[in-house]
Amino acid sequence: MSERAPAGGVAIVGSGYVGTVVAASFALIGHRVVGVESDPAKLRQLQAGRAPFHEPGLDELIERTAATRRLSFTDDLAAATEDCTVLFLSVGTPPSPSGQPDMGALKEVVEVLADHLRPGQVVVTKSTVPIGTGRWIASLVADRIATGGRAPVAFGVVSNPEFLREGHAVQDFLHPDRVVLGSDDISARRIVAELYEPILAQRIPGDASRRDRVPLLETRLATAEMIKYASNGFLAAKISFANEIARLCEYVGADVTEVTAGMGLDRRVGPSFLQAGIGWGGSCLGKDLQALLTTASEYGYRPRMIEASILVNIDQRQVVVDRLLTSLRTLRGARISVLGLAFKPHTDDTRDAPGIEICRRLIERDVIVTAYDPMVKSLDELPELRIASDPYAAAQGADALVLATDWSEFADLDLDQLRTQMSGDLLFDGRNMLDPDAVRTAGFRYLGIGRPEVGQPAGWIRLLPEPAPSD
């Protein structure tokens, strides 16, 4: 790309979790941003200053930046394309039966923008896309321009993977561990790096805290695309490893929460993503691992660690059902209460949620399942599931209670009240978040993941508070 980029703002195509967070955050750090959304209902909500999904802090950010007139939303992709310097693609790429993300929506967008691209503009992929998508976009656009009889347009393509976690998305975007920009075109990378400068320098309006400069990693296109997949693959592998160790802990009578605490104190291992439980869910980890498998199979290669991570995760959901079966003897006609339907706390997202999968498997065995979740109040995909308005109502008459999402409010449950509501005494802590002794004192039988079933003296690992930093 040799021409200078036209002066203009940023367009973000697709206003899902990623797109909306990126749009509002770029507006906060001073850019003029237009978010493009084709769904009329979502667009109306965004134009009224609200995100079409729950994400802490996002509504406030949209309202605040829209009031400065730096942030607006439209369904006019052509106008947004013509009026920007950098165009981010963050349209949905849901899993397809082939195992690779479905690129249909992305293709439609690329075809429209090809008709309106001008020299010097930069197209950035923000959605998680199969490796090679950057090149595919460049070829698609070039072909479309040629068949339309227009003169060739020099434009850049950059991969800028997003690592934000749902529930912490705004903070993750504004204070990332790293920014990755992949392109075989150095000047296109530079243009996008400039957009990120306030984030790289940690000069965030309204945030006076002092933080170190954020590392910027500039790579080739395919490398950046791979960094995203490899990161999610590794996070998933960490969780599955902890879950495998949990299974072994059950055999030998060890407590996995103390084992992983002991492992995590080794700086080479690190403490995060070692929490054993009923496994990972959500829209990203499973989809990305599946895409890695499919990519590998195109080359005739079997990535065994990735395969194993998926298999352990599938088993982990069944562990709950199997142990309920062993403990209750028969499941048909039993009443089981499930606390937590979201795939993790601080979100209403139920995509590939382990708790829901457990509800489904129990319902298939004719169990009467009543669930409660602080944010999920209905679930079309499982009409037989009863949803209660609070945890105690969900526990009414239950033979067993399963804790499936580690919402912090579940740590403060009144265990005595819960026990009184139930007809049985089994509490299955699928996230190892409760104190087994406190649960037993309230008259429950406690089952955790990878924790001894009978009470025993507390282990010797006690994590001391961090020493105060010396000046």
User: Exposed, middle or buried, 344 (CB in 10 Å: 0-12/13-18/19+)?
Assistant: buried
Which of 25, 232 has the CB closer to ligand UDX?
232
Which of 70, 238 has the CB closer to ligand UDX?
238
Which of 35, 281 has the CB closer to ligand UDX?
281
Q: Does 285 bind ligand UDX (CB under 6 A)?
A: yes
Given the rule CB under 6 A, which of 2-10, 23-31, 232-240, 417-425 is the region that contacts ligand UDX?
A: 232-240
Which of 235, 447 has the CB closer to ligand UDX?
235
Which of 118, 175 has the CB closer to ligand UDX?
175
**Look-up: residue for tokens 């979790």?**
17
Catalytic residue among 84, 249, 284, 359: 284
Give the number of residues in contact with ligand UDX, rule: CB under 6 A: 20
C-beta of 338: minimal distance to ligand UDX in Å? 15
C-beta of 384: minimal distance to ligand UDX in Å? 23
Which of 54, 445 has the CB closer to ligand UDX?
54
The pairing of strands 33-36 and 71-74 is parallel
* Paired tokens of 148: 């339309």
Kindly identify the residues of this chain, within the stretch 407-436, that bind ligand UDX according to CB under 6 A. Answer: none
CA pair distance 182, 177, nearest whole angstrom: 16
Q: Does 180 bind ligand UDX (CB under 6 A)?
A: no
Given the rule CB under 6 A, which of 97-105, 185-193, 248-256, 280-288 is the region that contacts ligand UDX?
A: 280-288
CA atoms within 13 A on the CB side of 37: 22
Residues 6+ apart with CB under 8 A from 27: 33, 65, 66, 68, 70, 71
User: Exposed, middle or buried, 388 (CB in 10 Å: 0-12/13-18/19+)?
Assistant: middle
Residues in the chain: 471
C-beta of 228: minimal distance to ligand UDX in Å? 8
Among 396, 285, 270, 444, residue whose Cα is nearest residue 349: 285
Q: Does 403 bind ligand UDX (CB under 6 A)?
A: no
The pairing of strands 216-219 and 368-372 is unpaired
Q: Are 341 and 373 in contact (CB under 8 A)?
A: yes
C-beta of 230: minimal distance to ligand UDX in Å? 12
CA pair distance 242, 210, nearest whole angstrom: 34
Given the rule CB under 6 A, which of 56-64, 81-89, 281-289, 371-379 is the region that contacts ligand UDX?
A: 281-289
The answer to whether residue 249 is catalytic is: no
Kindly identify the residues of this chain, within the stretch 248-277, that bind ligand UDX according to CB under 6 A. Answer: 273-275, 277
Given the rule CB under 6 A, which of 161-169, 298-306, 375-383, 438-446 is the region that contacts ligand UDX?
A: 161-169
Which of 85, 100 has the CB closer to ligand UDX?
100
Which of 147, 272 has the CB closer to ligand UDX?
272
Q: Does 312 bind ligand UDX (CB under 6 A)?
A: no
Q: Figure out which of the listed residues 54, 135, 165, 386 binds ligand UDX, where binding follows CB under 6 A.
A: 165
C-beta of 58: minimal distance to ligand UDX in Å? 14
Kindly identify the residues of this chain, within the stretch 334-353, that bind ligand UDX according to CB under 6 A. Answer: 343-344
Q: Does 280 bind ligand UDX (CB under 6 A)?
A: yes
Q: Does 125 bind ligand UDX (CB under 6 A)?
A: no
The pairing of strands 216-219 and 156-159 is unpaired
Residues at the site binding ligand UDX, with contacts judged by CB under 6 A: 162-166, 232, 235, 239, 273-275, 277, 279-282, 284-285, 343-344
Q: What amino acid positions are annotated as catalytic residues?
A: 284
